[in-house]
């Protein structure tokens, strides 16, 4: 089936006027009419009614135009992928990333990406997993990387788990609890708790660990998906930061922060994963970027 004829039908359905539609597709009015007639003969169905008052689309035409738009989109995607394969450094990558990977392993990978392929156009959306999932379903993103703890079984997506970031509770070096072995782990509730948005199952684990009564929730004083903002608050107040080790590594190494040690220390972690639409092939550039992220993490973990 000729994609050009399908495009002609789509344009005519939008204009409902042969003269305007012909102008949009750079054809004469008679040539556009012959193209539509040829498509109708090929499909053995009337797509448009032509009257003295104008053009109207038939029920068959509505269905054909709907499918034609999908086919034209697929054809454009195919051309886009072929272009990327022929010239790897050209094209676009639109992907999302959660606050934790955005603050740890992504920056050095993006720096290498721009050094190796300066003409590649990359758009990164840093957000929580729930917002990123919606954008993926809306096809605004090609993939996203985030803590996938909260992602349930969904046939529409594919989740590839690849790394864990373990964490704990951290405070500034001058904090009243700094350097003390906490005999009562609930002492931390005397101070504000700050963190990124926590997965539901992590909240449940923390609720059990701190032996809270059923009607009492594990709550944060400040929830923010910007680790840099949380670090500033932690360094300039008596708040306690719940985070992962890679995120606070620099502050700990320079002595600005320290970890709070408690009895029967709970093992909390973020489960990093790559989320894509099920059955959807990634562009070569996106596949390359994901490979680089994996390589970086494997090298980092090997040096720990």
**Residue-wise pLDDT tens digits, 65-92:** 999 999 988 888 777 667 655 555 556 7
Question: According to the model, what pLDDT value does residue 303 have?
Answer: 53
pTM of the model as a whole: 0.65
Contact 6, 68 (CB under 8 A): yes
Whether the pLDDT of residue 241 is over 90: the answer is yes
165 and 46 both lie in a single domain: no
Q: Cα separation of 6 and 69, whole Å?
A: 8
11 and 129 both lie in a single domain: no
Boundary residue ending a domain (86, 104, 129):
86
81 and 117 both lie in a single domain: no
Smallest CA-to-CA distance from 185 within 220, 210, 214, 219 is with 210
More confident residue, 63 or 215: 63
- Residues of the domain holding 211: 90-304
Provide the angle, in degrees to the nearest 10, between the axes of the packed helices 59-86 and 284-302: 50
62 and 144 both lie in a single domain: no
Smallest CA-to-CA distance from 124 within 92, 77, 149 is with 92
72 and 132 both lie in a single domain: no
Looking at the 3D structure of the chain, how many domains does it have?
Answer: 2
Q: Cα separation of 93 and 124, whole Å?
A: 8
CATH code of residue 149: 3.40.190.290
Question: According to the model, what pLDDT value does residue 18 have?
Answer: 92
| Predicted confidence (pLDDT) per residue in 270-293, tens digit | 889 999 998 888 877 788 888 888
137 and 15 both lie in a single domain: no
**Tokens 């038939």 belong to which residue?**
58
3-state secondary structure of 159: strand
Query: Which residues lie below 8 Å from residue 19, measured CB to CB, with a gap of 6+?
Result: 29
Beta-ladder partners of 240: 193
116 and 174 both lie in a single domain: yes
Smallest CA-to-CA distance from 274 within 112, 109, 115, 120 is with 109
Whether the pLDDT of residue 5 is over 70: the answer is yes
53 and 124 both lie in a single domain: no
Question: According to the model, what pLDDT value does residue 151 have?
Answer: 82
32 and 142 both lie in a single domain: no
125 and 80 both lie in a single domain: no
């Amino acid at each position: 089936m000729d994609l050009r004829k399908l495009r002609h039908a789509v344009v005519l359905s939008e204009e409902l006027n042969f003269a305007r539609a012909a102008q949009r597709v750079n054809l004469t009015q008679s040539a556009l009419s012959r193209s539509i007639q040829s498509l109708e003969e090929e499909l053995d169905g009337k797509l448009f009614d032509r009257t003295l008052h104008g053009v109207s689309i038939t029920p068959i035409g509505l269905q054909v135009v709907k499918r034609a738009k999908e086919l034209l989109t697929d054809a454009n995607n195919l051309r886009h992928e072929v272009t990327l394969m022929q010239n790897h450094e050209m094209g676009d990558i639109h992907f999302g990333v959660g606050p934790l990977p955005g603050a740890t392993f992504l920056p050095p990978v993006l720096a290498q990406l721009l050094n190796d392929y300066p003409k590649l156009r990359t758009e990164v959306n840093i957000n929580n997993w729930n917002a990123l999932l919606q954008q993926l379903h809306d096809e605004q993103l090609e993939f996203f990387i985030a803590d996938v703890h909260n992602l349930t079984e969904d046939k529409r997506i594919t989740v590839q788990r690849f790394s864990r970031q373990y964490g704990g509770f951290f405070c500034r070096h001058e904090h009243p609890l700094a350097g003390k072995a906490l005999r009562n782990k609930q002492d931390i509730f005397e101070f504000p708790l700050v963190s990124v948005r926590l997965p539901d199952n992590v909240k449940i684990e923390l609720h059990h660990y701190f032996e809270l009564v059923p009607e009492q929730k594990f709550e944060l004083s400040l929830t923010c998906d910007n680790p840099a903002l949380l670090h500033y608050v932690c360094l300039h107040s008596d708040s306690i930061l719940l985070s992962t080790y890679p995120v606070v590594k620099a502050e700990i190494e320079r002595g600005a922060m320290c970890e709070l040690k408690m009895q029967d220390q709970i093992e909390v972690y973020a489960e990093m994963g790559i989320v894509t639409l099920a059955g959807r092939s990634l562009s070569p550039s996106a596949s390359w970027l994901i490979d680089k992220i994996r390589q970086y993490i494997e090298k980092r973990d090997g040096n720990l």
